[in-house]
């Protein structure tokens, strides 16, 4: 039986009087890839950010390895070392080289040996064809190259779960394919546990095991990926796939 690594129970999120997430429930098993899909404004990124402690929530539970995460800054700081996140906007430090961007959190936050982390970072950069840019600054890189560095930076923390928030949204088609190849390899070769938000349906179909389909902050479908794309159960999901030309 595959180990359950993350479980969300009855999660509700408000911005003032407006409810952004309604009674969200799902679980994630080790090595599984979950795609969160839905129209713009459905709460996908809000949910992802909540799972990383970047958004608070009103009630419900986020359970990691069988233990409820307490809503405290101190615990979330520790959890973020195990639940990594890659953003659409890369968020690299402009004054640091590629290598220093990668080394910063593992050495300062996790207190790991710099030489050991650098060795790991070098291997990861080589894997994504970025080894020759280790001494470059973010301004010297294309968007796709910066996103590769952002992925390596997250992986260097040795996370148990990787959250990917629209990581190809601002890239041109060729760069999109490159990033998708990296994520596909992490899924199929490394069996990395991941949750991704994307508008790229082919990408989701290729890498995901499960699909969580949201509409107005509510889970409309929670189903195996193949079933979602071949036989969606709700009329809303069917319309969504039609609108996405899928």
pLDDT in the model for residue 135: 98
Average pLDDT over residues 185-205: 95
pTM of the model: 0.94
Contact between residue 182 and residue 125 where contact means Cβ atoms under 8 Å apart: no
- Return d(Cα 214, Cα 38) in angstroms, integer: 5
pLDDT in the model for residue 201: 95
pLDDT in the model for residue 50: 95
- Return d(Cα 12, Cα 44) in angstroms, integer: 13
Q: What angle do CA 38, 41, 46 make, to 5 degrees?
A: 90
Please tell me which residue, 172 or 239, carries the higher pLDDT value: 239
Cβ burial 56-88 (10 Å sphere, 16+ → b, else e):
ebeebebebeeeebeeeeeebeebbeebbbbbb
Instruction: Write down the residue that tokens 């190849």 correspond to.
Output: 181
- Return d(Cα 156, Cα 146) in angstroms, integer: 15
Average pLDDT over residues 197-218: 96
- Closest by Cα among 132, 114, 3 to 64: 3
Average pLDDT over residues 116-120: 97
Per the structure block, which two tokens stand in for 244? Answer: 């996405």
- Return d(Cα 164, Cα 210) in angstroms, integer: 15
Contact between residue 166 and residue 88 where contact means Cβ atoms under 8 Å apart: yes
Question: Which domains are assigned to the chain?
Answer: 1-82+159-246 (3.40.50.300), 91-158 (no CATH)
Q: How many CB atoms lie within 10 A of CB 244?
A: 13
Laid out side by side, the sheet with 193-197 consists of: 83-86, 161-165, 193-197, 33-37, 210-215, 218-224
Percentage above 70 pLDDT, the chain: 100
pLDDT in the model for residue 244: 92
Average pLDDT over residues 1-15: 92
Contact between residue 43 and residue 15 where contact means Cβ atoms under 8 Å apart: no
Radius of gyration of the chain from Cα atoms? 18
pLDDT in the model for residue 140: 97
pLDDT in the model for residue 89: 87
- Closest by Cα among 99, 137, 146, 131 to 118: 99
- Cα 141 to Cα 98, 162, 173, 177: the distances in Å are 10, 23, 17, 17
Per the structure block, which two tokens stand in for 104? Answer: 């910063």
Average pLDDT over residues 17-41: 96
- Cα 133 to Cα 97, 115, 139, 203: the distances in Å are 9, 18, 12, 27
E strand or H helix at 221: strand 218-224
pLDDT at 71 over 80: no
Contact between residue 49 and residue 13 where contact means Cβ atoms under 8 Å apart: no
Average pLDDT over residues 68-83: 87
- Cα 82 to Cα 69, 102, 133, 154, 157: the distances in Å are 12, 16, 27, 10, 8
pLDDT band at residue 1, thresholds of 50, 70 and 90? low
């Amino acid at each position: 039986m595959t180990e359950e690594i993350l479980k969300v129970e009855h999660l509700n999120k408000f911005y003032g009087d407006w409810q952004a997430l309604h009674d969200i429930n799902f679980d994630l098993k080790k090595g599984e890839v979950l795609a969160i899909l839905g129209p713009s404004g459905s709460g996908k990124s809000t949910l992802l950010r909540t799972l990383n402690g970047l958004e608070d929530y009103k009630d419900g539970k986020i359970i990691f390895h069988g233990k409820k995460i307490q809503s405290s800054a101190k615990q979330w700081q520790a959890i973020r070392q195990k639940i990594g996140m890659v953003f659409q906007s890369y968020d690299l430090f402009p004054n640091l080289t590629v290598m220093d961007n990668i080394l910063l959190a593992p050495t300062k936050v996790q207190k790991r040996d710099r030489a050991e982390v650098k060795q790991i970072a070098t291997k990861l950069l080589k894997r994504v064809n970025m080894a020759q840019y280790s001494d470059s600054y973010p301004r010297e890189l294309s968007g796709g190259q910066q996103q590769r560095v952002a992925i390596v930076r997250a992986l260097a923390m040795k996370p148990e779960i990787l959250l990917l928030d629209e990581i190809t949204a601002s890239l041109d088609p060729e760069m999109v394919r490159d990033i998708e190849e990296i994520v596909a390899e992490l899924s199929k070769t490394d069996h990395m546990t991941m949750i991704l938000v994307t508008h790229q349906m082919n990408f989701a179909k290729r890498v995901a095991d499960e699909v969580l389909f949201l509409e107005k902050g509510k889970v409309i479908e929670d189903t195996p990926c193949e079933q979602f794309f071949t036989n969606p159960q709700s009329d809303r999901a069917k319309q969504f796939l039609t609108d996405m030309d899928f």
